[in-house]
Structure 1
Amino acid sequence: MSENLIEKITNKKLKRRSFLKWSGAVAAPAIIGGAGVSNKLIQKASAETTSSVEEDIVVPTCSTLNCGGKCLIKAHVKDGQIIRISTDDDPRDKNADNEQFPQIRACVRGRGYRRHIYSPHRIKKPLKRVGKRGEGKFEEISWQEAIKEIAKQNNRIKEKYGPASRFSIYATGQTGEVGSGDTVIQRLLALDGGFLGRYSNYSSGQHMAATPFTFGVPAASSSCNTLLDSKLIILHGMNPAETIIGHFNMYLRMSKAKGAKIYTIDPRKTDTNVALADDWFPIKPTTDNALIAAMAHVMFKENLHDKEFLDTYCIGHDEAHMPEGVSAGESYYSYVMGEKDGVPKTPQWAAGITGLPANRIIQLAREVATTKPMAWVQGNGINRHMNGEQMSRGGSMIAALTGNIGISGGWAGPGAAGEIIKYQNFPITPNPLGISIPVFKYTDAIVRGTEMGAADGVKGLKEGETLPSNIKMIFNMAGNCLVNQHSDINKTTKMLKDESLCEFIVTSDIYMTPSAKYSDIILPTCTFFEQNDVVPPWSYGQHIFLSQKVVEPLYGSLTEYEWMSMLAKELGIEKEFTEGRTQDQWVQWMIEESKKKDPNFPSFETMKKNGVYKYEENTVVKFKDNIEDPVNHPFQTPSGKIELFSKKLWDMNNPDTIPAIPKHVAVSEGPESDVTKKYPLQIFGWHVKRRCHSTWEKSDWLEEVQTQELWINPIDAKERQIKNGDKVKIFNDRGTIQIPAKVSSRVMPGVVCLPQGGWFTPDDKGIDNRGAINVLTGQEASPLFCNPQHTNLAQVEKA
């Protein structure tokens, strides 16, 4: 199919401006959940976009891209082509939001999916590198040639360096189950002798690492429908309007309609704040625990804390409730009141660190302490910081101090709500090596893998052992973390260019991403419209999809399962890999097995008709049993209680970076750092509504929804003689970006921010011209081996 024909298909019946009018018609409800659009607006949009269209069939499906909404997509198909997109119209939620069966409506990204499948930028044939790695020079080869070359290199590297030299890099461009290349490649490599595994993720790694020290489990949030009982909701680094997290926006809107107040704590006035919030509390990045300590000071001083709850269910809050073997003066009360260090953590003290006035801190503390149920909801924005683990524990401290744990409308901590959905996964064969590294440290494992052990976060080794090999072969399945989404892009690409380090890289994708350019073999994969899969939602969801094949694959693309089955045959493990099933047969098997776990799970035919199964019993009040019956349901911590002081962290004997209580920890590139003399501005990348991570970057429609530009406060802009729209240079010791500026009071002074996910686009001097934030981020991991990409200092000048 020619590129001209692709362009015609893409624009058929729906020009860019019509798309923007349609997305504009749903702009507010897309931000806050999709309700409230007048019938006139819908009729007007429909008249502009669907006149004279006669659909043959409407096929329900779901995106497998790593988007938090996981919306129901209805593809209108005529003559084998998708001519338009509609979304969920569940009659049970026709006139008002249904608390039990909410519609799973597409946002502006979902409305633009036709541009995703019919993009002229799609990779059309398997490609083999012919120039130096990173130059972007490739030649087309056949699928047979590609598979034979991958098998040859795989066997050579496994024999020379051992199976631990092979690594499937963290990737989220194609999620789901059997349709996820990242899942399927792990099954294949496990059957082929094993591989170097990985754990954690780039988004919520600090939450996952820190929460077990408080509650004994890695997830501590309730289901989002419990927010309907909340009277006050604090969104701490939480921006669901732009990240689109399941039904979160809808329940926030319903909670607000019932009278709940909503506040946001964020350096940027987010779209969530604009659409839903009653107040905004801007604080400097990395200073969240200073705010929390000052709020605790107000509560302790004014006797507003829930002492009965603390004394009954917690340890570490005061000197009378401490674990054995800990010296005096280490409780949270002692820290907050300054009993040991002589520095009371007053609102005035915190104001100088956070940038939030003391009277505003007092206001927030009193309201949080006296309003119940109160949900302090920790988003992933407080992750990705060098002290993110401590800030994660800090939010749970507020929940404990106010007794808002184990009750509906309260909120204990971050993470998924628990098992709402019972379904059968695609089975991954256990990795026989049993060795894994923190996902963020893959570049370390390329350069110094044989030096890495437990001190680097490696799991599965015996005491004193290190990795048996550096990473020599990488499978990059629909991912952009090889380059674009990993830190310090310039350092990473220099490393990948050196073919004596990682010797072979395979990428499977639909676009020539910045990561794909550093591959040796590139394979054209299918979009979700071109294959069948089973797709669960993100954490806050109570539904599961059949992502249904809508059209035949374009060009010569194959699904990852299809080409890996070919590779498995070449490696002599086809029978074990496929178990005699095609991808479609695996999908049917998963649905049949899901019915054994949940008798109400629909049949395959019903799923084909509806596209989605919405669960009825979907309420989870986290730790309800632990609070109501602590004798029979102790917390899974060493003490059986909520550990506001963690003896495990204390025993690590690293109090400056991993304290046993959630203290404010100043970091090397924070607002209190000496580095601010050279690079005075804190910079971070936020998730924007026009992209999910780096996906949708090539959509010109979504580019018009939101442009890529640096947000800077008028005070900082005036000091640098920068006006709105001026091209600016953003730089630090790691790299330089040139991009237009947006001067806005929606970002606090001393902070600048870029929409994360822009594709690295360097000029001949190596200066990025797209705003790829990871040009400026560093590769040093946080104390518990996680991604700290929000913690950076830089300078901005007019270009």
Structure 2
Amino acid sequence: MRTAYPTARLRGSKQQKEESVDKQGIIDASRAKREGERIFYTSCPANGCWDSACVLKCHVKDNKLIAIEPDDSVNANDSREDCGWENIWKGNVQMRPCAMGHSWKKEIEAETRLLHPMKRVGEKGPGKGYFVQISWEEALDTIADKMKEIKAKYGPYGIFHSQYPSFEKNGFPLAAWWEAGFGAWGEHSTSGHAAGEMLHLGVDLTKVASGRSDASPGFEASDIFNSKLFIMWGMDPVVAWFGPTSYYMQLAHEYGCKTIVIDPRYTQSAEILADQWIPIRPGTDLAMMLAIAQVLYEEDLIDHKFVDEWVDKAGFEEWRAYVMGEGEDGIKKTPEWAAPICAVPAETIREFARLYGTTKPVHLQYFYSCAKRHMGDYSAIASMLLQSMTGNIACPGGCETGACLPTPGRVPAPRADWHRDPGNYKPPVLFNNNCLTEILACQKDYWEGRMSESEFRHRIGSPTNDSPLPNIQMIIFENNYGNNHSNVNKRFAGMASTEFNWGFQWHLNQPTAELCDIILPAPIWQLEGMDEYMYGHQRFVSGPNGMRNYFTFCGRGLDFPGEVRSKEWVWTEIAKRLGVADKYNPRMLDVDVDHWVDAQEAVYKEAFENWANNETIMAYLGYEKRPTWEEFNAHPVIRTEIDSPYYPFRTRIERGESPFETPSGKIEFSSNYVKTHDMTESRWRGQIEPMPVWSPSYVEGDIGSASNDGFYNPKVKKYPLSMVSPVSIYRQHSSNDNNPFMREDCYRHAVWISGVDAQARGIKDGDICRVYSDRGEVELTAYVTNRMMPGTAAVHHGAWFQTDGTPAECNTFGEDLRGTPNILLDDGHLPHILGALITAGLVEVEKLRDGDAEGFGNEAERGGMRGASVALNYRRSLGEGKE
């Protein structure tokens, strides 16, 4: 009997041939489609990505962005990570962008993209006025004239530039020559930890950031592999920490590092990484930490060698006495004492403390969210003291738990020289950078004699009693600055009250545009033109933290759309009108707008060639021959290997020098600075105890730690849910809230509420709810989930403030329809010290109506362009609906 195999083989051969032809046809068609395509590399250091400068491989054809690929600089033409365990230890990993990095195409081509200069007709503020298109000449002339007018009327401190005036810096580009503008102390992200770092560890991030101190408290990503136990306290790195550090945390867990998550939410990190999840009431972290310390003291789970060498003994004993009930209050801070406060069982707290105290090293990451609350400084301080008790604060695999990001750089990058004059004006530091809202709210009362100078200084965090005082009448916006801080109603009212504001915006319907008299179309930095970036970054961008063993060059991308122009061109044109352009930008003084990007690129090429001619740098990086500019642009990621990773304070510790610049030169469990200074007359302008205690002496009553946003505040009777505002994997602060890829296709913005709390309020998943506090209200759909512990709620950070235009009680501009949590949050601190940016508060949620096709399934329409003010302004900006 004949077999059928030969026939089958013939049939298969013919089929394979046809498939081969088809495959080749597909390849040929794809190749033809990509003829004329150009590839350039750039980075994506937009708002919020402080751990990395991810690498984007961009494909462009006919000035259109065709595709964005991940970094392929380790494995050429391949984004996989298969370089081996040893290489991963050395930091040889590719800097792959997240979903937001891949979504920029939708930002560039957005229907709401601002493409022309626009002037407001009518008053500033949501629901008021509208925009009309104007020429660049009119925009620049008006801006320059108004700058001169406001400086003449109010002096040099009447103009505020919003681009990150933190770490005592001033963002106003023309300050040094036009002699105006001012800076601020403090910053946003680590603001809740700053008091602990300075008062108990003696760490001044301003000095670290400026290179004046090498007591850097950060760690490099691969140091996580040295840890035996990883504690994520209020931390969700899978979602909230973009870049390699999050990736290394996941790798460490896979390779056996035990992980515990402490959080009121069952986060993605808890689901993916945690061996144990411990839910805790928001704002009660300090109680649990005091109980952990009590167990450590009682069972002698202390690293005595470290404590003897690096800890001030008097303060160590003082805090021990308080924790053990030998202090004034006589209360022993046992797990049984803490359990009813923080809703964590006493047995869990005790066993956690024992595991923590008997494991070494431990990476206890007490993250920003927990500390950025009213009096959250105390829990941040306590986390640092726990790490000090156990010797985990300054060792391989350990963590300082405050500003964990700053580390020394490893790769010297080129630096373009624009031949700028150094200037003679040094902008003074006038306030705490989280107190801008307060300045705008009360400056008129001070300058018109209704508020004392002392009270004004206290409200704004004036650094000294001799510091000049601001009278802000012009705000220059570089981003969506109005939207992103607490107490939005108060903030917008203050920003709308100034004489003249202007700034750069991406979208016509950005909330901050509503606060401007003139808005200028902003380039998307990483993809259009060749402008510098914030904090002195040029186009040679290094990962700012976590993994600083590389830099990438952000090459020339797309041409500007519409009438979008380089920001550097704009500032140079304004400088010409102010008479300082020859000092601000002498190399570009006579370059016309059509050749601007060419001239910028020439300066960067010069900088690269000077760098490549440095034989010492070339030898350090392992180059056998000097790379050309063309070769560099083809592969613009420069990387060196990490020999052994940086851990907190490593530079000082290994030299045998103290990194702790306190009065005693050691870690102070009880701050000697606080004991010897009137803190109300310091730049902190408020009260704080010398050591973290549960019941501060300046809190009235006997309700315990009565913070403005905690369960033990009397207003919890009216607003019984403790709301947190976590960041999302789909937002960089508020960037991408208008991006269809990030809003409609993958993300549901809602108020998270537990099943228990939802049932008590008659709320079902998808229902439309009113979420309100004593500061404002917002309309949101409900996400009913047991990922939230009872008594809590969550609204993710990043949504744009857009209203129905109908003012009401607590709603200066109307109810928010899009869902910013910042409208619900208080910004008050006093009598406690100033400094922390508040990101949590007390709210109530009530059902408005059942979820339906319009309300639940159409977020973009309900909370996007439907807001009366924004929709009207948008139509008017296009020439429709003018009155």
Cross-structure match for 1:476 = 477
Greater alpha carbon shift after TM alignment, 530-539 vs 416-425: 416-425
What per-residue deviation string (whole Å, max 9, x for no partner) do you get for residues 611-651 of structure 1?
A: 32223247212223554554x44632221112222111223
Amino acid at match of 2:254: A
Q: 1:195-210 maps to which residues of 2 (within 5 A)? A: 195-210=181-196
Report the count of equivalent residues: 728
Cross-structure match for 2:199 = 213
Q: 3-state DSSP class of the match of 1:763?
A: coil
Q: 3-state DSSP class of the match of 2:261?
A: strand
Cross-structure match for 1:511 = 507
Q: 1:95-244 maps to which residues of 2 (within 5 A)? A: 95-96=82-83, 98-99=88-89, 100-134=91-125, 135=128, 137-171=130-164, 186-217=172-203, 218=205, 220-244=217-241
Q: Return the match for 1:60 from 8, 17, 41.
A: 41
The answer to whether the 8 A contact 1:234-1:263 is kept is: yes
Q: Return the match for 1:360 from 341, 345, 348.
A: 348
Amino acid at match of 1:465: D
Q: CA deviation at 1:488?
A: 1.4
Q: CA deviation at 1:728?
A: 1.1
Q: 1:546 to 1:777 in 2, by over 3 A?
A: same
Q: Aligned equivalents of 1:303 and 1:265: distance in 2?
A: 24
Q: CA deviation at 1:717?
A: 0.9
Q: Aligned equivalents of 1:83 and 1:169: distance in 2?
A: 33
Cross-structure match for 2:822 = 774
Q: CA deviation at 1:784?
A: 4.0
Q: 1:656-671 maps to which residues of 2 (within 5 A)? A: 657-664=687-694, 666=705, 667-671=707-711
Q: 1:208 to 1:541 in 2, by over 3 A?
A: farther
Amino acid at match of 1:798: K
Amino acid at match of 1:475: I
Q: 1:72 to 1:571 in 2, by over 3 A?
A: same
Amino acid at match of 2:47: N
The answer to whether the 8 A contact 2:218-2:546 is kept is: no
Cross-structure match for 2:370 = 382
Cross-structure match for 1:620 = 646
Q: 1:468 to 1:381 in 2, by over 3 A?
A: closer
Q: Aligned equivalents of 1:386 and 1:332: distance in 2?
A: 22
The answer to whether the 8 A contact 2:687-2:833 is kept is: no
Consecutive unaligned residues in structure 2, runs of 5 or more:
1-22, 206-215, 448-452, 531-538, 589-598, 622-626, 681-685, 696-704, 807-813, 849-883
Q: CA deviation at 1:701?
A: 1.4
Cross-structure match for 1:80 = 63
What per-residue deviation string (whole Å, max 9, x for no partner) do you get for residues 373-413 of structure 1?
A: 11112322223211232222222112111111332111123
**Percent pairwise identity:** 28
The answer to whether the 8 A contact 1:291-1:350 is kept is: yes
Q: Does 1:274 align with 2:271?
A: yes
Q: 1:215 to 1:480 in 2, by over 3 A?
A: same
Q: CA deviation at 1:194?
A: 2.4
Q: 1:389 to 1:607 in 2, by over 3 A?
A: farther
What per-residue deviation string (whole Å, max 9, x for no partner) do you get for residues 44-66 of structure 1?
A: xx99x989852622211112412
Amino acid at match of 1:536: S
Q: 1:644 to 1:454 in 2, by over 3 A?
A: farther
Q: 1:654 to 1:473 in 2, by over 3 A?
A: closer
Q: Return the match for 2:406 from 417, 421, 434.
A: 417
Q: 3-state DSSP class of the match of 2:481?
A: coil
Greater alpha carbon shift after TM alignment, 68-77 vs 654-663: 654-663
The answer to whether the 8 A contact 1:369-1:402 is kept is: yes
What per-residue deviation string (whole Å, max 9, x for no partner) do you get for residues 300-356 of structure 1?
A: 1112122332122102xxxxx216xxxxx9711011111111111111111111111
Q: 3-state DSSP class of the match of 2:172?
A: helix
Cross-structure match for 2:594 = none
Q: Aligned equivalents of 2:61 and 2:413: distance in 1?
A: 33
Consecutive unaligned residues in structure 1, runs of 5 or more:
1-42, 176-181, 316-320, 324-328
Which of structures 1 and 2 has the bigger CA Rg? 2
Q: Aligned equivalents of 2:604 and 2:522: distance in 1?
A: 18
The answer to whether the 8 A contact 2:431-2:463 is kept is: no
Cross-structure match for 2:392 = 404
Cross-structure match for 1:487 = 486
Q: Does 1:531 align with 2:529?
A: yes
Q: Does 1:692 align with 2:732?
A: yes
Q: Aligned equivalents of 1:507 and 1:417: distance in 2?
A: 30
Q: 3-state DSSP class of the match of 1:530?
A: coil
Greater alpha carbon shift after TM alignment, 257-266 vs 712-721: 257-266
Q: Aligned equivalents of 2:129 and 2:602: distance in 1?
A: 37
Q: 1:155 to 1:592 in 2, by over 3 A?
A: farther
Cross-structure match for 1:465 = 466
Cross-structure match for 2:210 = none
Q: CA deviation at 1:299?
A: 1.2
Q: 3-state DSSP class of the match of 1:214?
A: helix
What per-residue deviation string (whole Å, max 9, x for no partner) do you get for residues 3-43 of structure 1?
A: xxxxxxxxxxxxxxxxxxxxxxxxxxxxxxxxxxxxxxxx9
Q: Does 1:446 align with 2:440?
A: yes
Q: Does 1:544 align with 2:551?
A: yes
TM superposition outliers: structure 1 runs of 4+ over 6 Å: 49-52, 424-428, 592-597
Q: 1:270-419 maps to which residues of 2 (within 5 A)? A: 270-315=267-312, 321-322=313-314, 331-340=318-327, 341-415=329-403, 416-419=405-408
Cross-structure match for 2:4 = none
Greater alpha carbon shift after TM alignment, 268-277 vs 121-130: 268-277
The answer to whether the 8 A contact 1:561-1:583 is kept is: no
Q: Aligned equivalents of 2:30 and 2:774: distance in 1?
A: 52
Q: CA deviation at 1:788?
A: 3.7
Q: Aligned equivalents of 1:188 and 1:753: distance in 2?
A: 41
Q: Aligned equivalents of 1:441 and 1:586: distance in 2?
A: 39
Q: Aligned equivalents of 1:60 and 1:614: distance in 2?
A: 15
TM-score w.r.t. structure 2 length? 0.78
Amino acid at match of 1:663: V
Q: CA deviation at 1:792?
A: 1.0
Q: 3-state DSSP class of the match of 2:765?
A: coil
Q: 1:406 to 1:350 in 2, by over 3 A?
A: same
Amino acid at match of 1:82: L
Q: 1:677 to 1:634 in 2, by over 3 A?
A: closer
Cross-structure match for 2:790 = 749
TM-score w.r.t. structure 1 length? 0.85
Q: CA deviation at 1:607?
A: 4.3
The answer to whether the 8 A contact 2:406-2:544 is kept is: no
Cross-structure match for 2:838 = 789
Amino acid at match of 1:507: G
What per-residue deviation string (whole Å, max 9, x for no partner) do you get for residues 122-166 of structure 1?
A: 101001111211225011111111110010000011111111111
The answer to whether the 8 A contact 1:191-1:576 is kept is: yes
The answer to whether the 8 A contact 2:437-2:490 is kept is: no
What per-residue deviation string (whole Å, max 9, x for no partner) do you get for residues 264-300 of structure 1?
A: 2222122222222222122122211111111111111
Amino acid at match of 2:601: D
The answer to whether the 8 A contact 2:501-2:516 is kept is: yes
Q: CA deviation at 1:184?
A: 9.7
Amino acid at match of 1:89: D
Q: 3-state DSSP class of the match of 1:523?
A: strand
Cross-structure match for 1:638 = 663
Q: 1:383 to 1:583 in 2, by over 3 A?
A: farther
Q: 3-state DSSP class of the match of 1:642?
A: coil
What per-residue deviation string (whole Å, max 9, x for no partner) do you get for residues 491-516 of structure 1?
A: 22223333xxx111111021131011
Amino acid at match of 2:558: V
Q: CA deviation at 1:221?
A: 2.6
Q: 1:524 to 1:628 in 2, by over 3 A?
A: closer
Greater alpha carbon shift after TM alignment, 330-339 vs 581-590: 581-590
